[in-house]
Structure 1
Amino acid sequence: MSWLLLVLAGLVEVAWSQSIKPTQGFTRPLPTLVCALLMIGAVYLLARSMEGLPVGTAYAVFTGIGAIGAITLGVLVHHDPVSPGRLAAVALIVGGVALARVTTPAG
């Protein structure tokens, strides 16, 4: 259950990262509220996952999922540039998340 909560936390973090720009510097009330709720939700789910997982593993996987999601959406939605270096970075993050998963006891 802890791993499921952690994956959900990471996915909410991806949504949160995408919700920041529409706030226009936190000057738009409704987008700012959505952003704040997503942030709270991501941190809540992360905290719940830490009840059964080591803090370091949970946080590293959480930020890894967030980074992978943010980069992927940046490329697909916002047409961010793709380069061999960025692809290598994503591959290393995916590898790190997978390695953390297989070497951490189930929670």
Structure 2
Amino acid sequence: MSWIILIASGTLEAVWATALGKSEGFTKIWPSIIFGGALLLSMGGLALAMRDIPIGTAYAVWVGIGAALTVTWAMAFGGEPTSLLKVVLILGLVGCVIGLKLVDDSH
């Protein structure tokens, strides 16, 4: 269950990071509200997941999921330039997150 919570929290990290960018320095109300709610849920979920998952693994997975989803979303919908190299690097990041999960389960 901790891994499901961690994955959901990593996804919410991408939500709050994207909302933060859309808030334009907290001058837009709805992105600012979404940022605050997603931030609280994301951090709370990370804290819960860290009860069962080592801090280094949990934090790296949380950040990796958030970063990969944020960049992917920005490339697909936010006007961020896309390149083959970026896609390969994001896939490498996802592979590392999966690897951390596999290593954690084997120890």
Tell me the equivalent position of 2:44: 44
Structure 2 residue ranges without an equivalent (≥5): none
Inter-partner Cα distance in structure 2 for 1:18 and 1:29: 14
Tell me the equivalent position of 1:4: 4
Residue deviations 1:6-48 (CA, integer Å, cap 9, x gap): 0110111111111112211012344322211111110000110
Tell me the equivalent position of 1:62: 62
Residue deviations 1:40-81 (CA, integer Å, cap 9, x gap): 110000110001000000000001100110111011111321
Structure 1 residue ranges without an equivalent (≥5): none
DSSP 3-state at the match of 1:104: helix
TM-score (norm 1): 0.90
RMSD of the alignment, in Å? 1.5
Counterpart AA for 1:17? A
Tell me the equivalent position of 1:97: 97
Counterpart AA for 1:18? T
Aligned residues: 106
Inter-partner Cα distance in structure 2 for 1:67 and 1:21: 14
Inter-partner Cα distance in structure 2 for 1:27 and 1:88: 35
Q: Does 32-41 or 92-101 show the bigger shift? A: 32-41
Distance 1:43 1:83, change over 3 A: same
Identity score, percent: 29
Tell me the equivalent position of 2:31: 31
TM-score (norm 2): 0.90
Inter-partner Cα distance in structure 2 for 1:30 and 1:86: 30
